[in-house]
Structure 1
Amino acid sequence: MPYALFCDDAKLSKSYPTEADVWKLAAESGLVTDVEAKDSKPAPRRVLDNDYEIRPCQAEPGECPEKNERDAQAEKDFQLALTG
């Protein structure tokens, strides 16, 4: 089942193969904040800003979550090559 970024019921991102893929893209976009852990956990926990959520979803007709993930990685690699 693919995953995407949502705010309320609005889908804000393309669909990606795993929840981890969406977390990674959200972090790279500056949408993730580390907050102090409660219950004496040793590490901070990650939360999404602005009431965003990552939820399972259906891919749009003709959309390929795996291709979206490959395209996002290629774009990141391209940006790194430009700045490197």
Structure 2
Amino acid sequence: MPYALFCHDAQISKAYPSEADVWQLAQQSGLVVDVSTDDQRHGPRRVLDNDYEIKPCRAAQGEDPARNKAEAEQQSRMELALNS
């Protein structure tokens, strides 16, 4: 089942093959923050900023989550090359 980024129950990203793929996209977009731990956890934990959530979703008609992932990875590599 594909996953996407949501805000207030509205899907705001393309569908991606796994939840981990959406976490990576959110991290690159600056939407992931580290929060302090509670007594039961060691070290900081990652959470999504504001009201963002990662949820399972259906891919839109004609949408290919694997292609979305490949395009996002290619764009990330191009941005790294431009910034170096």
Does residue 13 (structure 1) correspond to residue 16 (structure 2)? The answer is no
3-state SS, counterpart of residue 61 of structure 1: coil
Shift >6 Å, 4+ stretches: none
Structure 2 match to 1:23 = 23
Q: Which TM-score applies when normalising by structure 1?
A: 0.95
Count of aligned pairs:
84
Percent identity between the aligned chains? 58
Question: Using the alignment, how far apart are the partners of 1:42 and 1:10 within structure 2?
Answer: 33
Aligned-residue offset at 1:71: 0.2
What is the Cα-based RMSD across aligned positions, in Å? 0.8
- Which stretches in structure 1 are left out of the alignment for 5+ residues? none
- Which stretches in structure 2 are left out of the alignment for 5+ residues? none
Question: Using the alignment, how far apart are the partners of 1:11 and 1:75 within structure 2?
Answer: 21
Q: Which TM-score applies when normalising by structure 2?
A: 0.95
Residues 13-64 of structure 1, C-alpha deviation per residue, up to 9 Å, x if partnerless? 0000000000011011000110011124222111111110000000000000
